Amino acid sequence: MKYTTLPTTEIKVSKICLGTMTWGQQNTLREAHEQMDYAISQGINFFDTAEMYSIPGKPETYGATEKIIGSWFKKNKNRDQVILASKIAGPGYAHIRKTGFSKMAIHEALEGSLKRLQTDYIDLYQLHWPERPTNCFGIREYPYQKDTQWEDNFSEVLTTLQECIQAGKIRHIGVSNETPWGLMRYLEESKQKSLPRMVTLQNAYSLIQRSVEIGLSEVLLKENVGLLPYSPLAFGVLSGKYLNKSPKDARVNLFPAYNRYSSPQATTAVEKYAQIASQNGLSLAQMSLAFVNQLPFVTSTIIGATKMEQLKENIASIDLNLTPEIRAQIESVHREIPNPAA
């Protein structure tokens, strides 16, 4: 395994982060424990979860993933071996307490996560998605709305998170599904008012969704914020399994609403990337992950799997270094079909 540190901290994390959102719905407790055991054995020390997991979010599985992780900590007594990240849900889910980032909501969400995870602290606590209308989750353009219920609360959010840090319940903070404007606002509020700093951004990034490079990558590099890319295999689309007859238990088949990586343009791009991988004797999944792993603004790539053979292949991508020739081939496809799933 390769390691780095969370930006502006001394926290050492593996360059591969174990994603967990299928645990409690697509994966059983036993399977989740097996994945964590294997990940630790391969040198992964960074796990990412969220209060709303497992996915898709619904009342009967709310908090299920955190409970599974908590049971694993209790069983193995190894909380100190893991850098643990979790998230507070933004608005939109009626079954998740009173969602949003008010002072009361943040404290309530954090206490719930700590209880389910059976821990006293979370290393990286993230805002899962903004309260204000933004273009994330497959929305390409900014959804301008003249009248919105959102009121500027960046300072209030950071002040509340500072209270949680001072209480020893979280160590560092980050954002997810954020825009360049939102990230910069948090960073400026932090500078001007001596409030905690967002150290990471968790956004979707893959060969077919590289919109982070439009504005955000400059912020990440110049402001020293680390990207934690999620969906680097685009819901498994970049494994190539949907190019043929895919398994019935594959995510996009189980949950048809998760189709943002399955447009005709995205499928054409995946076919071209699959051809590059084949020509160079690589698996498409490992080539796709290696491309993300090697980016200068990436701190740790979040991988997830429902089957152990997938997990093993994904983790092994850390040992693959793409040649300049392969990267040039990839860029050629990107110029032809840029961001088909953005």
Structure confidence at residue 98 as a pLDDT band (50, 70, 90): confident
pLDDT at 244: 78
Average pLDDT, the chain: 93
- Cα separation, 261 vs 252, whole angstroms: 9
Token output for 235: 């819901």
Look at the block and give the residue holding tokens 């009361």.
104
CB 317 within 8 A of CB 285: yes
Look at the block and give the residue holding tokens 């402001």.
223
Lowest mean pLDDT among 5-9, 202-206, 250-254: 250-254
Structure confidence at residue 97 as a pLDDT band (50, 70, 90): confident
Q: Known catalytic residue: 53?
A: yes
CB 157 within 8 A of CB 122: no
- Nearest 5°: the CA angle 135, 103, 67 is 80
Query: What residue type is assigned to position 60 of the chain?
Result: E
Whether the per-residue pLDDT at 324 is higher than 80: the answer is: yes
The single residue of 38, 53, 62, 273 carrying the catalytic annotation is 53
- Cα separation, 98 vs 277, whole angstroms: 46
Among 30, 72, 78, which Cα is nearest to 49's?
72
Domains in the chain, ordered, with CATH? 3-202 (3.20.20.100)
CB 18 within 8 A of CB 303: yes
Whether the per-residue pLDDT at 53 is higher than 70: the answer is: yes
Q: Note the pLDDT tens digit of each residue in 142-157.
A: 666 666 777 899 999 9
Query: 85: part of which helix (H) or strand (E)?
Result: strand 83-88
Whether the per-residue pLDDT at 247 is higher than 70: the answer is: no
DSSP label at residue 58 = -
- Cα separation, 315 vs 319, whole angstroms: 9
CB 227 within 8 A of CB 262: no
pLDDT at 209: 96
Whether the per-residue pLDDT at 251 is higher than 70: the answer is: no
Structure confidence at residue 256 as a pLDDT band (50, 70, 90): low
Among 196, 268, 198, 265, which Cα is nearest to 226's?
198
Determine the average pLDDT of the residues in 130-136.
Answer: 81
Determine the average pLDDT of the residues in 181-210.
Answer: 98
Query: 14: part of which helix (H) or strand (E)?
Result: strand 12-14
Whether the per-residue pLDDT at 308 is higher than 80: the answer is: yes
pLDDT at 257: 65
Among 46, 11, 38, which Cα is nearest to 228's?
46
Q: Is 335 exposed, middle or buried (0-12, 13-18, 19+ CB in 10 A)?
A: exposed
Query: 17: part of which helix (H) or strand (E)?
Result: strand 16-19
Whether the per-residue pLDDT at 245 is higher than 90: the answer is: no
Three-class SS state of 291: helix
Q: Note the pLDDT tens digit of each residue in 29-42.
A: 999 999 999 999 99
